[in-house]
Amino acid sequence: MKLIQFSDLHLSASNEPEYCLQVLHEMIEKTINLECDAILLCGDVFDTYNDMVSLRSKFLEIISPFQGIIYFLPGNHEALRRPGKETSLQIFDWGEKVKVLDDSPYRLEKLNEHVEILSIPHRDSYGDLLLSLPAPKSAHFRIGLAHATIVGMSFTGLKDEEEEEKSGLIDVSQLQALGCDYVAVGHIHSARTQKFGNMEVCYAGSSRVWRMGENGARKGVFLNVSSSEISKTEVILKTAGVYAEILISLGLNGIPEKSVDEYLSSFSRYDWVRVRWSGIVESMSGKKDFQKKIETEWKSKIRRLEFDPDESQIIVIENLLENTFIQQFVKIMDSKKESMELVEWSRAKEIGLKLLLEVGK
């Protein structure tokens, strides 16, 4: 049986809806091309409850070419800013192919002789999860679906992720007691996987770049399940793009050593790029002109182009080159430019200037 695992798409009606829906289109195309039998959506498909209400019909339209079943496990964001008291998304019409898995404390469903799914919808606390255990395993593999923070996994992600880790904690021992062989999890936006004995826990990560700092390619996880094993392959989502921060080092004249294209030519219309500045300059006019050139030539070529408002790493000292020691240092460094990597040379020159200025104080 062929399955594909996605999570944390955060479809939004107000924040770049075309981009979000474009990624959903690619997710479905990848699923069809891989001839998958089912899709496992591990929560936060929608950014808020209102986004779910607004985009549900569009979501159903986009997934319609897929002929298999979609298992939709709601996350914490599907309940975000919910105005009413309803607790289940099953009150909405999701058509025949979408199965909403929000039964608490869990729901056990057998797909075929190879796979059964144990779904665990998001909650703030899972302390009572093991008060009633599911029936013994009746398929070769029991695949868990969850939207939570798995205690016992190694997390080295963003500060924002650390905030999310404070809620919805499931211990590895709970998943093992539930008889899971593999657990597909959402909630943490950086992809990671870890084995605990015979059980593997896997975060596919966010399906698109939802916030700053989500570095690396966005992806899903393709699962090929036989009677003897679950094989796992990453599926890169090209239209999700990447988030990248580039540091531009300014020369004394405020102009970088590289051209605009050299800094940005590796990025595409799907990417989110944030520009940061550093350097010691006599004036910021060169930096201002360079920034304007970036905006003019690349704003339309990149999905999202930003400039970090914190420019504290730019040191402005008027008439700096009138200092004899600075002149001699610049002359020596310029003579070494051809024999060094440009990035290393720029950084060494900047550090040297800072040291000379510190000594001068």
Are 257 and 196 within one domain?
A: no
Assess contact for 69 and 4: CB atoms under 8 A. Answer: no
Are 184 and 90 within one domain?
A: yes
Are 287 and 230 within one domain?
A: no
Assess contact for 249 and 278: CB atoms under 8 A. Answer: yes
Number of structural domains the chain divides into: 2
CATH classification at residue 145: 3.60.21.10
Are 198 and 304 within one domain?
A: no
Supply the pLDDT for residue 199: 97
pTM: 0.89
Are 214 and 313 within one domain?
A: no
Are 33 and 110 within one domain?
A: yes
Rg (CA), the chain: 26
* Per-residue DSSP letter, 137: P
Assess contact for 43 and 75: CB atoms under 8 A. Answer: yes
Band the pLDDT of 21: cuts 50, 70, 90: very high
CB under 8 Å to 44, separation ≥6 — which residues?
A: 7, 8, 9, 10, 75, 76, 77, 78, 147, 186, 187
Higher pLDDT, 162 or 357: 357
Q: What is the DSSP string of 47-65?
A: SSHHHHHHHHHHHHHHHTT
Band the pLDDT of 309: cuts 50, 70, 90: very high
Supply the pLDDT for residue 154: 62
Supply the pLDDT for residue 213: 92
Say how far apart CA 23 and CA 34 lie, in whole Å. 17
Higher pLDDT, 219 or 104: 219
Which of 223, 240, 257 terminates a domain? The answer is 240
Share of the chain above pLDDT 70, in %: 95
Q: Give whole-number Cα distances, 35 to 11, 41, 217, 330, 353, in Å.
A: 24, 17, 23, 61, 59
Band the pLDDT of 267: cuts 50, 70, 90: very high
Are 215 and 257 within one domain?
A: no
Are 70 and 190 within one domain?
A: yes
Are 84 and 59 within one domain?
A: yes
Which of 196, 222, 240 terminates a domain? The answer is 240
Band the pLDDT of 61: cuts 50, 70, 90: very high
pLDDT tens-digit map of 180-195:
999 999 999 999 999 9
Higher pLDDT, 69 or 251: 69
Are 79 and 219 within one domain?
A: yes
Are 133 and 169 within one domain?
A: yes
Angle between helices 49-63 and 17-33 (to 10 degrees): 40
Domain encompassing residue 342: 243-360
Band the pLDDT of 162: cuts 50, 70, 90: very low
Which of 224, 240, 256 terminates a domain? The answer is 240
Are 38 and 158 within one domain?
A: yes
Supply the pLDDT for residue 7: 97
